[in-house]
Chain A
């Protein structure tokens, strides 16, 4: 910096040079002044000081002209960027750059995901009120006796599911809205059921739908195979009520509540990313914990 030949009296318009010039004056002052001690480990002085004789007003004017010009251009650019982002074409009801970011976050999450990492479990004393939320695909006068689960073309009834080893867990159900409750779930591991009706190797997704497909979710395979992913038929040791998705629902604590589909009617394997009710309405498709 000191090698540069920067005239003190010149009217430099270039901003970077202006700053250098001011700094050089500052450095010279320090060299001339009392602060001529050799470099040590001590912290540098709090500020560089220019000689009081220089044309301070002129320097400030030039620095300001540049500084505020850059600030103004940056502010306009930021505003333009914001307009561009919020007006970008929609993918799944959000601007596409945001959707792409959700998908990138998903890849990172999937890479970090381990099946052995479990959702924390709690003692029964910590069970809280199981809040009812979301009734899409549910109705009170549904004929439970007519219910069947179709898994990859095979038809099962509730007794078939209950024939699998019964798993119980007290976990936290976390809604994407921010509330949560702790409940005891009992049911068959989805992984156990899928082992009996195995998907082709390297199948990437599992799709689930309510009877009539009013509600539908898509799951990545590793979340579906997680040991805490249950096809549950009991909540807090009672058979599911219709509001909680009788007769059989998914409980998947590695996902937000939106993926915990109630009254599962169909389970399909697919390599095409399955449609997801809330992902079509602006939410993250992965929605995983």
Chain B
């Protein structure tokens, strides 16, 4: 026997799917900007594991090179859409009560470890799964905090004199740029894991993000 469960409110589905292309444009235009000064690396001390850059011919091939002006123009257009959509989403979760399913609580951090172990097949018993499991709660809350981080570090780079106090808070102009960059890498990592988990969880779960409802098997009475 099956039953239908309402999972994602219409508003959250819209916020989610609107955010996806906007964030994609922000990352792409950010890459056009980063190209002009691609200085970051992964390493310890003077030892560089790898540089956060791609070969010159790929910059050319993917039309990233020499498009800083375009990158900035797109960035300063889509930043508004990113911010507005994000703020509306947060307000919606607050006023609808959806935040209750999204915010981690005291147990979440322990449970998130259980989720991770289970997903990595190091643990047999499934962890408690409510609408969102503990790892999801942490991830979906963290991504909002990251979004806020991108907005404020972005502002700190965008107006480092008018908002000098903010830039100072992040440790100066170059540090603000550093955080702004690594937050973006964080989105890319989130995206890869998110897609992996969605594929793993299957069609029913994915479809719920489009239609709002999920089909559940219930034992016959």
Binding site for B on A (CB under 8 A): 19, 22-23, 26, 43-44, 46-54, 56-57, 59-60, 63-64, 66-68, 71, 74, 78, 82, 93-95, 97-99, 101-102, 105, 109, 112-114, 117-120, 172, 174-180, 253-254, 278, 281-284, 288-289
Contact = CB atoms under 8 A, between A and B. Distances in A.
B55 to A, nearest CB: 19
Contacts of A54: 3-4
B205 to A, nearest CB: 13
Contact of B173 (A26, A49, A113, A174): A174
Contacts of A56: 2-4, 215
A140 to B, nearest CB: 26
Nearest to A66: B211
B201 interface: no
B97 interface: yes
Contacts of B101: 46
Contact of A105 (B76, B130, B131, B164): B76
B37 A179 contact: yes
A102 B79 CA distance: 12
B37 A177 contact: yes
Contacts of B120: none
Interface residues of B, number: 47
Given A60-B215, A120-B168, A253-B161, A176 B2 contact: no
Nearest to A42: B100
A63 B211 contact: yes
28 contacts: A26-B4, A44-B97, A46-B101, A47-B131, A48-B6, A51-B3, A52-B1, A56-B215, A60-B215, A63-B213, A64-B207, A64-B210, A64-B211, A66-B211, A67-B207, A67-B210, A74-B17, A99-B73, A120-B160, A177-B68, A178-B39, A180-B174, A254-B161, A282-B73, A283-B69, A288-B159, A289-B160, A289-B161
A22 B10 CA distance: 14
Interface of B: 1-7, 10, 17, 21, 33-34, 36-37, 39, 68-70, 72-74, 76-77, 80, 97, 100-101, 130-131, 159-162, 164, 167-168, 172-174, 177, 207, 210-213, 215, 218
Contact of A71 (B17, B70, B97): B17
B161 A22 contact: no
A27 B170 CA distance: 49
Q: Identify which of B4, B6, B74, B100 gathers the most chain A CB atoms within 10 Å of its CB.
A: B4
Contacts of B7: 47
* Chain A interface, >50% SS class: mixed
A63 B212 contact: yes
B36 A178 contact: yes
A113 B162 contact: yes
Nearest to B159: A289
B173 A52 contact: no
Contacts of A23: 6
Contacts of A176: 36, 68, 72
Nearest to A174: B173
B170 to A, nearest CB: 12
B6 A22 contact: yes
B212 A46 contact: no
B21 A71 contact: no
Contact of A117 (B10, B164, B168, B207): B164
A130 B89 CA distance: 44
Contact of B6 (A26, A51, A95, A102): A26
Q: Identify which of B74, B162, B174 gathers the most chain A CB atoms within 10 Å of its CB.
A: B162
Nearest to A47: B5
B173 A180 contact: yes
A176 B73 CA distance: 12
Q: Identify which of B68, B73, B76 gathers the most chain A CB atoms within 10 Å of its CB.
A: B73
B69 A109 contact: no
A101 B131 contact: no
Contact of B97 (A26, A43, A114, A118): A43
Nearest to B180: A178
Q: Identify which of A23, A47, A178, A253 gathers the most chain B CB atoms within 10 Å of its CB.
A: A178
A289 B156 CA distance: 10
Given A23-B6, A50-B4, A98 B210 contact: no
A15 B177 CA distance: 46
Contacts of B130: 46
A229 to B, nearest CB: 11
Given A178-B36, A254-B161, A78 B6 contact: no
Contact of B76 (A64, A74, A284): A284
A284 B77 CA distance: 12
